Structure 1
């Protein structure tokens, strides 16, 4: 399941012609709400060096908890302990 860094996984999804980024989303820790999470479609984000961008908002990669397919299959998951 976990192969490489989250940025490597997202780069493969976004730039590999054999992948459809519309089939994936990320689950992030949502700042400001204790224990809150948010799902973001991969097609809506732009990759940066230490951050990814959702419109004008910069979100650090360390806030990503999971990368998932639309069917619910986990592609990548953080090593942090979560209850998700």
Structure 2
């Protein structure tokens, strides 16, 4: 499952022609209350250096809890959740 940093995994999904980015989403810890999570389709994000962007919103990579394929397979999970 956990092969590389989350940025490397997302770059592979977004730029590898064998992958379909619409088949993936990220689960982030939404700022505010612990346990408040949000799902964001990978096709809607742009990768940056220390952050990724959803429109004008800048979100740090450390907020990503998981990268999940639409069939439910977790392809990357943060160590905070126990890999």
TM-score in terms of structure 2 length: 0.95
Counterpart for residue 2 of structure 1 = 2
CA distance in 2, matches of 1:15, 1:64: 19
**Ranges in structure 2 where 5+ consecutive residues have no aligned partner:** none
Q: TM-score, normalised by structure 1?
A: 0.94
For 2:78 and 2:35, how far apart are their aligned partners in 1?
Answer: 15
1:15 paired with 2:27, answer: no
Cα separation, 1, equivalents of 2:54 and 2:63: 13
Consecutive aligned runs of 4 or more in structure 1 exceeding 2 Å deviation: none
Pairwise CA RMSD = 1.0
